[in-house]
Amino acid sequence: MDTADVYRTFGVREARGPYRELAAAIADDPGLIALIGALPEAKRQPNLVLAAVRFEGGPATEDDGFRPWAKENWAAVERTVLARRTQTNEAGRCASLLPVLAQIEGPLALIEAGASAGLCLQPDRYRYVYDAREPFGPGPVTLACATEGDPPIPDAVPEIAWRAGIDLAPVDVTDPAERRWLECLVWPGEDARRDRLRAALAVAAADPPRLVRGDVAETLPGLVEEAAGHGTVVVCHSALLPYLTPGARDRFVDLVTGLGVRWISNEGTPRLPHFGIPAGDRLAFVTALDGVPKALTDPHGSWLRWL
Ligand SMILES: C[S@@+](CC[C@H](N)C(=O)[O-])C[C@H]1O[C@@H](n2cnc3c(N)ncnc32)[C@H](O)[C@@H]1O
């Protein structure tokens, strides 16, 4: 697929909101396509280039002049594209994890594999609203989740006595530029998501989680050893497995299940095929405890169907 086709396809198949029109316009702009096409192949991806323009202070939409701005300021855009990578961290996923975490006797020693900025390492620092139930947990970040199937919603956040994350490229929540980069990766129009991210990053920055730089396969056993003695050791991961090859995924599952820990996975339905849950029409995650699926969940935590 050539660069113009990559942007055209992104606009039709993936993008929502203003990025749909913008991606189509970029695909039809030979000047901009030539600049993007001159980047290393792995750096031509729409999410990276569009975020880099915004990070450098450019507009986010076709109507606001994205394309002329990007061409005029290409040296700065290119610098950011080459220096950075796409990265996400979705605090909302804690609403999917919470009913499963509540099944485990605490206090917990929580390890997140693929933690990004560590926003899913602090499920005890958010306020939850499940349907019309009484909200619980500290603010200011509120995670709302609509449920089906009578999930065992707790009435309080879990006690987390110890926590640490592992990531190949941890995000430093105390660095304003790193925080802004994460925000630029949220698509325009997704204001609620951006506001939640900003607020959750501020919560994390007030007491930054410990994040260990490294590969999960190499780093996890040592961290589990450290965690033991602080509480029930729970290894959790969410949206990590797409980054691993199928072989590395299998090895990771073998590793976790051999460590004698509780294991929470929150991954897209195709990622752990042995769960036998079909992909279905709407994109869903499976939230599982110790390899047993417990819920189908929204990838951003806004709904949950207990199984
Ligand atoms: C999509 S993000 C998900 C972040 C967070 N778990 C969440 O749900 O919001 C996946 C993270 O996994 C990290 N990652 C990918 N492969 C990894 C590996 N082999 N070892 C450690 N971290 C990895 C990436 O750097 C990225 O931060």
Ligand 1 atom 12, closest CA: 114
- Residue 69, class by beta-carbon neighbours within 10 Å (0-12 exposed, 13-18 middle, 19+ buried)? middle
* pLDDT tens over the chain, length 307 residues: 899 999 999 999 989 899 999 999 999 999 999 999 999 999 999 999 999 999 999 999 999 999 999 999 999 999 999 999 999 999 999 999 999 999 999 999 999 999 999 999 999 999 999 999 999 999 899 999 999 999 999 999 999 999 999 999 999 999 999 999 999 999 999 999 999 999 999 999 999 999 999 999 999 999 999 999 999 999 999 999 989 999 999 999 999 999 999 999 999 876 666 666 666 656 789 999 999 999 999 999 999 999 9
β-strands 285-289, 211-213 pairing: unpaired
Contact at 8 Å (CB) between 305 and 147?
yes
Contact at 8 Å (CB) between 117 and 171?
yes
Cis amide bond preceding 221, omega within 30: no
Cis amide bond preceding 176, omega within 30: no
Q: Which atom of ligand 1 is nearest to the CA of 89?
A: 9
| 113 CA → ligand 1 middle, Å | 7
In which region does residue 103 sit, left (phi positive, over 0), alpha (psi from -120 to 50) or beta (all else)? Answer: alpha
What is the reported pTM?
0.92
Ranges of beta strands (E only) in 174-231 are 211-213
Q: Which atom of ligand 1 is nearest to the CA of 248?
A: 19
β-strands 232-238, 285-289 pairing: unpaired
